[in-house]
Structure 1
Amino acid sequence: MDAKGAPTAGEDFRLLWWTRRRSVALDAGLALLSAVECGSQGVGFAEQTGLPVALVVVPGVLAGLSLLVRRRWPLAVILISIAVLPANMGVMLALLGLYTLATTDAPRRVIAALASMEGLGTIIVTYLMLDTDPGIREQDFPAWFRPLVALLFGVASVVPPVLLGMYVRARRRLVETLRDRALGLERELGLLAERAEERAEWARDEERRRIAREMHDVVAHRVSLMVVHAAAVQAVAPKDPEKAARNASLIGDMGRQALTELRTMLGVLRSAPVAPDRPTESSRASSRLAEIASGQGREPSAEGEPAPDGEAPAAPGPNGDGPRLTGLRALVEESRAAGMRVELAVEGEQRGYPEQVESTAYRVVQEALTNVHKHAAGAAAWVRLAHREGEIAVQVRNAAPDGAARRREEAILPSGGNGLVGMRERVTALGGGFVSGPTDEGGFRVSAVIPDRSEGRPGG
């Protein structure tokens, strides 16, 4: 077969026990040579014994042709070679028969028994030939000469073919083992490739969900406040033009910040990769998006653009890494400026937390206040932040909203229903707990407990 497992030319050939044409040609040629050898040796034996030539040559030729069945019945070939051994015939027959038998899966004791019979018969016949040869008898050889020569002939006729056959059998087994292992590895690689495709598809889906969540967190809060301020401008413009102007200024500031953040994220998604040794604005923006996507960062306001009154740009960290808990007061003031009655209570002593922990807590409060603007207009809200041993607890609760205000705000602040899902994903990704639901008083509560995972701990 070829590398792809398809049958190659000649592999569909089959004749009796042969599977390749060259095997048929090889066995036919060897059988013909063996028949010629046995026939010529039979002529000499007939002359020595006075037997009719045809009576010796014909059986010898048939015995030599038995090599045609050596692949199918190697044991029969060896027995025939032992049978014609007294006539001093079948040397080639014995060699090839023993070799073929040794290459098969025949038990070693069977191979050893047949090889011993063949070797012993060769020793006896060789010794008798030397003992009856007049030329050798005339020579003054030591008594051990003829037995030694006979022994050497017997060993030479048995040991080499058996050893060669066992070597070929071991090599074939090794090749089969390597082939099976290669096929197994090929199947495993196929499975790994399928799993890699599944993991890549899962990663793409997860990245799409994360980008959608980040777009929601970064933009929705400011856009919601802009809508609230726009409604306030519309309401107070005829009565208090000065207050309407302040609200319009806030709308402009928030709009510029939202556009800056949105432009940064979209620019990163469209930018092409650059060489790592040539940092550009796009590469720095890509790094920022990676931080934003992991919940660790938030793009601050563009340089030179004013922030709303009293607002810090999401309280970036010491390296400008994004939202920190120190920015909660500015976030609350932002909602108060939009007309919400909101109170902030902080319990415990604040300490240094990993960026992901502070960013997640900040985003939970931000999204919860945004939901209050959307679904509970005019309702009071309470934000509670508790610094506990090994964790941070965040709770945002609002009272029951005014019915008329709620209907008016729901009409202009549509919701995609992804805010709570995004908060839950952020908190559970850090091993925390998240609970949300209506209160007995008709309001709504969002609670999150986030473990304090330092950078040096697993999962931090």
Structure 2
Amino acid sequence: MTATGASEGVGARGAPIGGPWWWARRRSAVLDASLAAASTVECLLEGASFAHGADLPELLGMLLGLLVGPVLLVRRRWPVVVVLVSIAVMPAEMGGLLSVVGLYTLAASDVPRRITALLAGMTVTGTLVTTFLSMRQDIASQPDFNPPVWLVPVMALALGLVLTAPPVLWGLYVGARRRLVESLRERADGLERELSLLADRAEERAEWARNEERTRIAREMHDVVAHRVSLMVVHAAALQAVALKDPEKASKNAALVGDMGRQALTELREMLGVLRTAEGSAVRGAAGADVPERLAAVASRVRAQEATEGAPDRSAVKSSSAVEGDPDGPCLDDLGDLVGQSRAAGMVVELSVDGDEVAESSRPRYAARVERTVYRVVQEALTNVHKHAPGARARVRLAHREGELAVQVENGPCEGGAADAGLPSGGNGLVGMRERVTALGGVFVSGPTDTGGFRVSAVLPTPQPAPHVAG
């Protein structure tokens, strides 16, 4: 709206105007043109009648009517001007349609209510005075007619209210309804924008969740397969070295490599089966929501099988238990078996535990995620030693502290000048360790040592250790 109450040229929901000049629609322009034509005809007739009664040339009265009638064309643009013109021509007893339509447009516009009330009062007063003087003149011209004194004022007041109150009240109603509809439209537009933003954010969160889940799945697959395959390569190298010198040891190493290969393939198939099950679900429900947990359960077979190599019956029992879903997965108790596998592959590994003076049965157990993360850090660090520092001595240190659990894996320089075992590396081992540790609010540090070796350190917070349950 402008200062005079005119509506800006916009349609529904902010759409641009489709009509000429200040009209929002062409049909509005046609309506105003029709009202202006009817008002012009009325003013022409009333102007000629006024000029005849005032002993003025009829052409002058008709010219006045021709100027006043078309003012309705600007009623939407300047409603105040239309009402003021209707008030100005009231003494000439012309402009009835102009006054009614002008008051309606003024009341329906956004002109301040005090201005609307003032102009409506002026219209009532002008109509009252004009009607009173006209009726007194008509009564004076009829000597035989003697009405009561109160009749003329009452009739003048009634006529003024009839010509003023209905268009003003109807205009106020239409204006209020129009503003209500506009506010509802604006609210609907706001809700649409908010829903669009929420949908965009939901899509971003879903994409982030998918990326996070892919990262976790990749990390679990790396932890399950990489360590075992690395040991297979180390054993294969040892097999090649002793094939001719010690056939019995070579046969044992060959059987061990075959077992490790079969176990790695079995674990890989189980992981791919979990992924296919999750991808087949149209909606991410119970089957898809626990994919990382199910992968962790499959990954726990590494701990079950590695800890029982050489004992087929016991391994089969633990493997079947892991397939059903081990909620904890690898834990601190399996570090000894993990270190033993590296020793069996020819690595010299030392395992030391600080703060472990109490008996194992009464020692506190940490959250499953904390113990599993420590196990994976040690596993990946030893795998890197096999890959990049064959023949080097390694030391694994575990420290139980108040409110935290620390682990460190350090290896010395390669022996015999060998710099690398020739194993492929994707560079994801250290990244995966860092992601696991930082996800639990811990600190991870890795880097070379002054003696030419490499060190991996992680400190994990343990705010609420759970008591160990035997059995």
Which TM class, normalised by the smaller chain length?
0.7 to 0.9
Q: Which amino acid aligns with 1:291?
A: E
2:248 is aligned to 242
Q: Which amino acid aligns with 2:447?
A: G
Q: Against the structure 1 CA distance between its residues 356 and 97, is the aligned structure 2 distance closer, same or farther, given a 3 Å change threshold?
A: same
The superposition leaves residues 390-449 of structure 1 with CA deviations (integer Å, 9 ceiling, x where unpaired) of 221111122332034x34xx2432322221111111101100011122233332221111
Q: Against the structure 1 CA distance between its residues 6 and 235, is the aligned structure 2 distance closer, same or farther, given a 3 Å change threshold?
A: farther
Whether the 8 Å contact between 2:79 and 2:106 is mirrored in structure 1 is yes
Written as runs of structure 1 = structure 2, the 5 A alignment for 1:84-99 is 84-99=89-104
- Do residues 110 (structure 1) and 115 (structure 2) align? yes
State the alpha-carbon separation in 1 of the partners of residues 304 and 334 from structure 2: 18
Whether the 8 Å contact between 2:216 and 2:292 is mirrored in structure 1 is no
- Alpha-carbon RMSD across the aligned residues, in angstroms, is 3.8
The superposition leaves residues 299-347 of structure 1 with CA deviations (integer Å, 9 ceiling, x where unpaired) of 4269999941379769969961221112111111211211222222223
**Alignment partner of 1:445 out of 443, 455, 467:** 455
Q: Against the structure 1 CA distance between its residues 416 and 55, is the aligned structure 2 distance closer, same or farther, given a 3 Å change threshold?
A: closer
Shift of 1:452: 1.5
State the alpha-carbon separation in 2 of the partners of residues 96 and 255 from structure 1: 94
Q: Against the structure 1 CA distance between its residues 375 and 70, is the aligned structure 2 distance closer, same or farther, given a 3 Å change threshold?
A: closer
The superposition leaves residues 228-271 of structure 1 with CA deviations (integer Å, 9 ceiling, x where unpaired) of 11222222233333322222222222222211111111222233
State the alpha-carbon separation in 2 of the partners of residues 90 and 101 from structure 1: 16
Written as runs of structure 1 = structure 2, the 5 A alignment for 1:45-56 is 45=50, 53-56=58-61
1:328 is aligned to 335
Deviates more, 1:55-64 or 1:84-93: 55-64
Whether the 8 Å contact between 1:115 and 1:158 is mirrored in structure 2 is yes
Paired residue secondary structure (1:23): helix
Whether the 8 Å contact between 1:325 and 1:362 is mirrored in structure 2 is yes
Deviates more, 1:235-244 or 1:55-64: 55-64
State the alpha-carbon separation in 2 of the partners of residues 140 and 194 from structure 1: 82
The superposition leaves residues 102-133 of structure 1 with CA deviations (integer Å, 9 ceiling, x where unpaired) of 33443444333322221111112222334344
**Alignment partner of 1:290 out of 289, 292, 316:** 292
Query: 5+ residue gaps in structure 1?
Result: none
Paired residue secondary structure (2:330): coil
Q: Against the structure 1 CA distance between its residues 298 and 454, is the aligned structure 2 distance closer, same or farther, given a 3 Å change threshold?
A: farther
Whether the 8 Å contact between 1:60 and 1:84 is mirrored in structure 2 is no
Q: Which amino acid aligns with 2:453?
A: G
State the alpha-carbon separation in 1 of the partners of residues 130 and 289 from structure 2: 91
Shift of 1:381: 1.9
Deviates more, 1:335-344 or 1:196-205: 196-205
Whether the 8 Å contact between 1:31 and 1:65 is mirrored in structure 2 is yes
1:162 is aligned to 168
- Do residues 255 (structure 1) and 261 (structure 2) align? yes
TM-score for the superposition, normalised by structure 1: 0.82
1:217 is aligned to 223
State the alpha-carbon separation in 1 of the partners of residues 387 and 421 from structure 2: 9
Paired residue secondary structure (2:301): coil
1:100 is aligned to 105
**Alignment partner of 2:270 out of 259, 264, 268:** 264
Q: Against the structure 1 CA distance between its residues 76 and 6, is the aligned structure 2 distance closer, same or farther, given a 3 Å change threshold?
A: closer
2:33 is aligned to 28
1:371 is aligned to 384
1:80 is aligned to 85
Whether the 8 Å contact between 2:104 and 2:167 is mirrored in structure 1 is yes
State the alpha-carbon separation in 1 of the partners of residues 192 and 120 from structure 2: 42
1:340 is aligned to 347
Paired residue secondary structure (1:94): helix
Q: Against the structure 1 CA distance between its residues 275 and 195, is the aligned structure 2 distance closer, same or farther, given a 3 Å change threshold?
A: closer
Paired residue secondary structure (1:346): strand
Deviates more, 1:219-228 or 1:123-132: 123-132
The superposition leaves residues 208-245 of structure 1 with CA deviations (integer Å, 9 ceiling, x where unpaired) of 43333222211010011111112222222333333222
Whether the 8 Å contact between 1:316 and 1:324 is mirrored in structure 2 is no
2:4 is aligned to none
Q: Against the structure 1 CA distance between its residues 24 and 389, is the aligned structure 2 distance closer, same or farther, given a 3 Å change threshold?
A: same
Shift of 1:367: 0.7
Deviates more, 1:246-255 or 1:324-333: 246-255
Q: Against the structure 1 CA distance between its residues 159 and 4, is the aligned structure 2 distance closer, same or farther, given a 3 Å change threshold?
A: closer
State the alpha-carbon separation in 1 of the partners of residues 305 and 374 from structure 2: 28
Paired residue secondary structure (1:300): helix
**Alignment partner of 2:400 out of 387, 402, 405:** 387
Question: Sequence identity of aligned pairs in percent?
Answer: 59
State the alpha-carbon separation in 1 of the partners of residues 398 and 96 from structure 2: 100
Shift of 1:5: 8.5
Q: Which amino acid aligns with 2:267?
A: E
Shift of 1:204: 4.0
Shift of 1:6: 8.0
The superposition leaves residues 168-201 of structure 1 with CA deviations (integer Å, 9 ceiling, x where unpaired) of 3444444444444544555555555555554444
Q: Which amino acid aligns with 1:228?
A: V
Q: Against the structure 1 CA distance between its residues 87 and 47, is the aligned structure 2 distance closer, same or farther, given a 3 Å change threshold?
A: same
**Alignment partner of 1:125 out of 108, 130, 142:** 130
1:153 is aligned to 159
Paired residue secondary structure (2:126): helix
Whether the 8 Å contact between 2:37 and 2:69 is mirrored in structure 1 is yes
Whether the 8 Å contact between 1:103 and 1:168 is mirrored in structure 2 is yes
2:5 is aligned to none
Shift of 1:368: 1.1
Q: Which amino acid aligns with 1:25?
A: V
Shift of 1:53: 4.6
Q: Which amino acid aligns with 1:238?
A: L
Give the aligned length. 442
TM-score for the superposition, normalised by structure 2: 0.80
State the alpha-carbon separation in 1 of the partners of residues 395 and 188 from structure 2: 66
Q: Against the structure 1 CA distance between its residues 53 and 417, is the aligned structure 2 distance closer, same or farther, given a 3 Å change threshold?
A: closer
Shift of 1:140: 7.3
State the alpha-carbon separation in 1 of the partners of residues 324 and 274 from structure 2: 23
2:43 is aligned to 38
Whether the 8 Å contact between 2:236 and 2:257 is mirrored in structure 1 is yes
